[in-house]
Structure 1
Amino acid sequence: MAQPAAQSTKTATTIAAAQEVPIDPPKRIPDTDLSIGPCTADDAQRISEIVYTCFPQPFWDRKEPPSQSSVSLDTRIKRLTKRITPSLLFNQHDIKWIKVVYLPTKEIAGIACWTAPGTPIHCHFCRSAIARQDWQSKMNWSDAEIEEMWEHISDDAWNGTCEKDDGRRKELLGDEPHWYLAPLATWPSFQGRGVGKKLLMWAIEQADATEPVTPLYLESAPTARVVYMRYGFVPVGDINFIRRGPVSAVNENEKVEHFKGKVEAKEQEVEVQT
C-alpha cells in the first residue's frame, strides 16, 4: 500500500491552526538542507516562540483570557518555556520533542512532540503533570513559582480540555500502545516547504515498521483535517483521528475529497448562521 504522493499533500501550521499551507514544489527545501532530530532543553524558548506564533489568536484568547491577566507576550512565552522544560530534561524516553533544522542558517524551522507508544495517557501540558512527574522536586520549583506559571491561564480551557481529551483518547485506544501527536508547528517562513511532512513522517515511518503497525493518534482543527487524512489518518470523532497504517493513494484521495466537501458545507452553514 502506497503513501499519498508528495505533490498532493498539505502541511498544517499546527494541530490547532486555522489554516492550511499547500506544499509548493518550487519552494520545497532540498532534503539535504534539512535535518531532523531530538530537541534539547536549550530549545525550549524557541519551541514556545514557534507555538505562540503559529497558533491562532482565538486559541490563545480561550486558553489565556485577556480578562484574566494582562501579562505581556514575552512573559507568556517565558512561562511556557518554563513549563515545558522538565519534559525536555527528564522525559526524553516517552516524550519525544522533535525539531527540523534548516542547515544553511541552523534555524529551527519546525517542531513536533510525539508521545511514544506505551506511555500512560496523561497530557504533559496539563498542570497535574507537575505532581504526576515529580517535576516540582526535580526542578526545585517553589509553590509560588508554579502559581505564577499558571496564573494567566484558564484552568477550564487549558487543564479541563486536556483532561477531556485524555478521556476521549482512553475511550478510543484503551491500553493499546500508540504514538500521540501534540503539537506540530512550522515557523511561517518555512510553511509549505516540506518541514511539516518531515515531522509527521518521523513517527509514521517508525509506526509502519512494526508488526502489526503501531497506531498514531491526534486531535485536529477542522481546516487541518484534510491534511492528516492524506497521510492515512481516519476520523473517529469531531476532532479525533487515528492512523493504523498506510493506505492507497486512490482510496485516500476519494475519502479526502468526500470529507473536504463535508467540511466546506459545514463552514458555509456557519457563515449563513452568522
Structure 2
Amino acid sequence: MSNTKLDVKLEPLLESDLPAAAEGCFQAFPSFYLPMEPEDLRPPHDIRVQRFASRLQHLLISPHTHCTKATLDGKLVGITIWHKPGAPVFNLKRRLPLEGREVTEEEEESWKGVDQGKWEEVWGGWDKVREELMKGQPHWYIAPLWVLPEYQGRGIGGKLLQEVVDLADQHTPSQPIYLEASQMGALMYEAKFNFKKIGTSEYVEMARFGPRKE
C-alpha cells in the first residue's frame, strides 16, 4: 500500500457494525482468542463471528462505554471501545453475572463454543491487575483498539487513540488513561502519547496521567 495519507473518518460505532467489529477482532488478534475457543468446540467461522458480534451488543449499549469506528470510503477499518472514567472495573467482554437476571436463548447461543472458564480467567485476571494498579482512581480504559492488518502502520490507530486523549485532556488535571499493550505497541504509546509502563505482564499495563511537559 502507498504512503498516501488516508482520508479516515471517525464515527460512532453502531449495532449494524458489530459483525464487522467481531471479524476485525479476529483479524487483528488472530491467535489471541483461539485458546479460549477450543478447536473441538469452535464452530464454522461465520457462526463464530455472529456469536461474538452478539456478545458485543451489551458492550455497545452500556452507558459506561465510548465506542468509535474508523471508516475509509465507507469501510470499517478499525475500532476503539473505551470504558469511561467512573465505570466499574469490569471488562464488558466478560459475561455479565448470571445471578438475579434472566438469561435469554440468544445469550446462551452467543457463548457456545467458548471455554467460559478460560475466557473469565483472561479478562477477569486483567481486571484484577488493573484494579490493583489504578487503586480506585477513575480512568479511561481501552478494550479494545484495533486496525485491520492491511491498514496498520498508517496512523489510523493513533487517530483513534487521540480522540480519547483529547477528551481526557479537556479536564484539569487530565483524566488518566489505562491500557494493555503489546511490546511493540508499548513503544508507540510511550513515544507519541506519554504513556508509562506500570505493570510487567506479557501485554504491558500502561497508564497516561497527562500530556508530556515540554
Tell me whether the two structures share a fold, i.e. TM-score over 0.5: yes
Q: 1:129 & 1:117 partners in 2: Cα distance?
A: 21
Q: 2:137 & 2:25 partners in 1: Cα distance?
A: 29
Q: How much has 1:95 moved relative to structure 2?
A: 1.0
Q: Deviations over 1:14-49 (max 9, x none)?
A: xxxxxxxxxx993332xxx22212111111111111
Evaluate the alpha carbon distance shift between residue 233 and residue 129 of structure 1 in structure 2; reply closer, same or farther with a 3 A threshold: farther
Please show how residues 177-192 of structure 1 align to structure 2 within 5 Å.
Answer: 177-192=138-153
1:34 aligned residue = 8
2:197 aligned residue = 235
Amino acid at match of 2:134: L
Aligned equivalent of 2:133, options 157, 172, 176: 172
2:94 aligned residue = 126
Q: Deviations over 1:209-233 (max 9, x none)?
A: 2111100001112232212212111
Regions of 4+ moved over 4 Å: 129-132
Aligned length: 210
Q: How much has 1:162 moved relative to structure 2?
A: 1.3
- Work out which structure has the larger RCO, using CA pairs closer than 8 Å and 6 or more positions apart in sequence: 1
Aligned residues of 2:91 and 2:123 also touching (Cα < 8 A): yes
Q: Deviations over 1:29-75 (max 9, x none)?
A: 2xxx2221211111111111111111132x122121214x1411111
Amino acid at match of 2:47: T
SS at match of 1:112: strand
SS at match of 1:246: coil
Evaluate the alpha carbon distance shift between residue 206 and residue 107 of structure 1 in structure 2; reply closer, same or farther with a 3 A threshold: same
What is the RMSD computed on CA atoms of the aligned residues?
Answer: 2.2
Q: 1:130 & 1:183 partners in 2: Cα distance?
A: 24
* Largest Rg, 1 or 2: 1
Evaluate the alpha carbon distance shift between residue 25 and residue 229 of structure 1 in structure 2; reply closer, same or farther with a 3 A threshold: farther
Task: Check if 1:205 corresponds to 2:178.
Answer: no
Aligned residues of 2:195 and 2:207 also touching (Cα < 8 A): yes
Q: How much has 1:114 moved relative to structure 2?
A: 0.8
Amino acid at match of 2:196: V
Instruction: State the TM-score, normalized to the length of structure 1.
Output: 0.71
Aligned residues of 1:217 and 1:240 also touching (Cα < 8 A): yes
Instruction: State the TM-score, normalized to the length of structure 2.
Output: 0.89
Q: 1:210 & 1:123 partners in 2: Cα distance?
A: 24
Aligned residues of 1:25 and 1:193 also touching (Cα < 8 A): no
Gaps of 5+ in 2: none
1:56 aligned residue = 30
Aligned residues of 1:123 and 1:129 also touching (Cα < 8 A): no
Q: 1:165 & 1:70 partners in 2: Cα distance?
A: 24
Gaps of 5+ in 1: 1-23, 250-274
